[in-house]
Chain A
């Protein structure tokens, strides 16, 4: 296994463990590790993180669906405005300075850490 593939495997394992343990938050692990460890720029780290989350979310939702815990109507009710939000957010991200959004991400990490500690 190449070192790069090894790093991707470690990122995947850490993100999976985090989201498995706490229910949310794979992206808060994936984005910083792609940047700090694989030299990604901020925008491509977030874009690639979303591609990974598609797979993680679909697999996990499918498993939960088998147990009958997924309310599809509610998922659409909260997910469709979110689709509008993500289109707007991704467009806005291209126009904002990388420093500003990366700084925002650092604040998200601090908030998430506080939520874990509290």
Chain B
């Protein structure tokens, strides 16, 4: 069910809170981010955009929902990321009989050598720095809720005792877009907890050919040398919070979130309603925060200490894709969330 690999000691959250950005320069962060991109790009062949988005989410302090067909390397990607960042990682394979305690941990009755016995908390796989939750939509809503509560609060309360989760803490959840029988689709409120929803495209012919040279006889993630430490991750994460955000970008981000809101019925009938007429529920304020946090990381990756609207546009789709609900009529017409958002983003960029 789960396999913990204590690659690095867990960093206490209280201890890492004192880590500031002052002792870490933008140039170092920029360099490390690029190194990380290059390393993961060598292992995960032909998925450069996916790798970039994944790094962005990790350093923005978010969680990622990855959707893709089986065999596209989702687990491989998580292992490679954990190895490149030197993170402790764990994997949870979700099934309908998975219980919340299987994820968060449980208290067990322990008898010591001296005969004294007591209840002792045994942490679950969620107490890892990088948790890969495979096929999250196969777990029951109860288990999903326990996991997602841990993701949001970054702590687990068991028998009245609160246990803080390690930091950095990142959940990579995967789900399969096919074989939906016997699954429990994540509710919108829980989808909102994920900063990004990434789709894994099928690799191109060139990538497939290159993949044979890289991973046919070996698992490259197992031999990957870390290019950063968990402390570096925390420093870069803290540094990203100091990236300057101008009024122009704030206004643009607000405009973008508002552009995903559904129109009133009378306005939807207008000819110029655009793609918004397909939207039933729009992005939440949490999406606005995620948008700006991710844009800051992208600015740092681009070598800037300030955010541009181009950074917002770069992360808009993975941030907003799982946060809008389309109208039933539009879905029946074959309209997808990505196409709708692409039109919304294009119109938003025209207005900038």
A and B part of one assembly: no
Q: What is the interface of chain A, defined by CB distance below 8 A to chain B?
A: none
